[in-house]
Protein backbone atom coordinates (compact mmCIF):
# COMPACT_ATOMS: atom_id res chain seq x y z
CA UNK A 1 0.00 0.00 0.00
CA UNK A 2 1.25 3.48 -0.90
CA UNK A 3 0.41 6.51 1.25
CA UNK A 4 0.71 10.26 0.69
CA UNK A 5 -0.43 13.21 2.79
CA UNK A 6 -0.88 16.86 1.90
CA UNK A 7 -1.14 19.67 4.48
CA UNK A 8 -2.87 22.90 3.47
CA UNK A 9 -3.53 26.16 5.26
CA UNK A 10 -6.79 27.75 4.19
CA UNK A 11 -8.18 31.09 5.31
CA UNK A 12 -11.94 31.27 5.01
CA UNK A 13 -15.09 32.38 6.76
CA UNK A 14 -18.30 30.63 7.70
CA UNK A 15 -21.35 30.90 9.90
CA UNK A 16 -23.06 27.87 11.35
CA UNK A 17 -26.77 27.10 11.38
CA UNK A 18 -27.36 25.51 14.78
CA UNK A 19 -30.29 24.30 16.86
CA UNK A 20 -28.98 26.26 19.85
CA UNK A 21 -27.73 29.80 20.41
CA UNK A 22 -24.01 30.19 19.72
CA UNK A 23 -21.59 32.94 18.73
CA UNK A 24 -20.61 30.65 15.82
CA UNK A 25 -23.90 31.58 14.13
CA UNK A 26 -22.29 34.91 13.26
CA UNK A 27 -19.96 35.11 10.28
CA UNK A 28 -16.38 34.52 11.46
CA UNK A 29 -13.11 33.28 10.01
CA UNK A 30 -10.47 30.64 10.61
CA UNK A 31 -7.01 29.85 9.39
CA UNK A 32 -7.84 26.19 8.85
CA UNK A 33 -5.18 23.50 8.73
CA UNK A 34 -6.28 20.62 6.52
CA UNK A 35 -4.47 17.28 6.31
CA UNK A 36 -5.52 15.08 3.40
CA UNK A 37 -4.38 11.44 3.54
CA UNK A 38 -4.53 9.26 0.42
CA UNK A 39 -3.67 5.63 -0.24
CA UNK A 40 -3.60 3.20 -3.11
CA UNK A 41 -2.39 -0.32 -3.74
CA UNK A 42 -1.10 0.78 -7.13
CA UNK A 43 0.43 3.94 -8.56
CA UNK A 44 -1.09 5.80 -11.47
CA UNK A 45 0.62 6.11 -14.85
CA UNK A 46 2.72 8.99 -13.46
CA UNK A 47 3.95 6.90 -10.52
CA UNK A 48 1.78 8.69 -7.95
CA UNK A 49 -1.05 7.91 -5.54
CA UNK A 50 -2.52 11.39 -6.06
CA UNK A 51 -0.69 14.48 -7.30
CA UNK A 52 -0.10 17.01 -4.49
CA UNK A 53 -0.87 19.85 -6.91
CA UNK A 54 -4.23 18.28 -7.73
CA UNK A 55 -5.11 18.19 -4.02
CA UNK A 56 -4.20 21.88 -3.69
CA UNK A 57 -6.37 22.77 -6.70
CA UNK A 58 -9.36 20.67 -5.63
CA UNK A 59 -9.31 21.87 -2.03
CA UNK A 60 -7.19 24.96 -1.45
CA UNK A 61 -8.08 26.80 -4.63
CA UNK A 62 -11.80 26.17 -4.02
CA UNK A 63 -11.97 27.04 -0.30
CA UNK A 64 -9.19 29.59 0.34
CA UNK A 65 -10.31 33.18 0.98
CA UNK A 66 -13.98 32.34 0.53
CA UNK A 67 -17.18 32.47 2.53
CA UNK A 68 -17.85 28.74 2.84
CA UNK A 69 -21.60 29.29 3.21
CA UNK A 70 -21.65 30.71 -0.31
CA UNK A 71 -19.83 27.81 -2.00
CA UNK A 72 -20.70 24.66 -0.04
CA UNK A 73 -24.22 23.16 -0.19
CA UNK A 74 -24.33 22.18 3.50
CA UNK A 75 -23.85 23.57 7.00
CA UNK A 76 -20.06 24.18 6.93
CA UNK A 77 -19.05 22.55 10.19
CA UNK A 78 -15.51 21.18 10.40
CA UNK A 79 -16.97 17.66 10.29
CA UNK A 80 -18.95 18.32 7.11
CA UNK A 81 -15.98 20.06 5.49
CA UNK A 82 -13.74 17.06 6.25
CA UNK A 83 -16.15 14.70 4.53
CA UNK A 84 -16.60 17.00 1.54
CA UNK A 85 -12.82 17.21 1.06
CA UNK A 86 -12.51 13.43 1.29
CA UNK A 87 -15.13 13.11 -1.45
CA UNK A 88 -13.28 15.57 -3.73
CA UNK A 89 -9.80 14.04 -3.70
CA UNK A 90 -9.02 10.79 -5.52
CA UNK A 91 -7.80 8.03 -3.19
CA UNK A 92 -8.46 10.11 -0.06
CA UNK A 93 -9.34 7.96 2.93
CA UNK A 94 -8.88 10.39 5.85
CA UNK A 95 -9.15 14.15 6.21
CA UNK A 96 -8.43 16.22 9.31
CA UNK A 97 -9.72 19.77 9.54
CA UNK A 98 -8.28 21.97 12.29
CA UNK A 99 -10.29 25.16 12.76
CA UNK A 100 -7.99 26.27 15.57
CA UNK A 101 -5.00 24.90 17.43
CA UNK A 102 -7.31 23.11 19.86
CA UNK A 103 -10.25 22.05 17.67
CA UNK A 104 -10.07 19.32 15.04
CA UNK A 105 -12.62 17.19 13.19
CA UNK A 106 -11.77 14.16 11.07
CA UNK A 107 -13.54 12.05 8.52
CA UNK A 108 -12.29 8.60 7.57
CA UNK A 109 -13.63 6.24 4.93
Segment 7-55, tens digit of pLDDT: 999 999 999 999 999 999 999 999 999 999 999 999 999 999 999 999 9
Domain 2-108 belongs to what topology? Tetrahydropterin Synthase; Chain A (3.30.479)
Q: Say whether 82 sits in a helix, a strand or coil.
A: helix
pLDDT of residue 95: 98
Residues 36 and 89: their CA atoms lie apart, in Å, by: 8
Whether this model's pTM surpasses 0.85: yes
- Could you tell me which residues come within 8 angstroms of residue 70 by beta carbon, excluding any fewer than 6 positions away? none
What is the pairing mode between strands 103-108 and 92-100? Answer: antiparallel
Among residues 73, 74, 81, the alpha carbon closest in space to that of 97 is found at 81
Amino acid sequence: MYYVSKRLEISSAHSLRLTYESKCEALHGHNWIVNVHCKSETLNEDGMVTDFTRIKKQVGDVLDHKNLNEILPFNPTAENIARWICDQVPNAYRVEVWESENNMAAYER
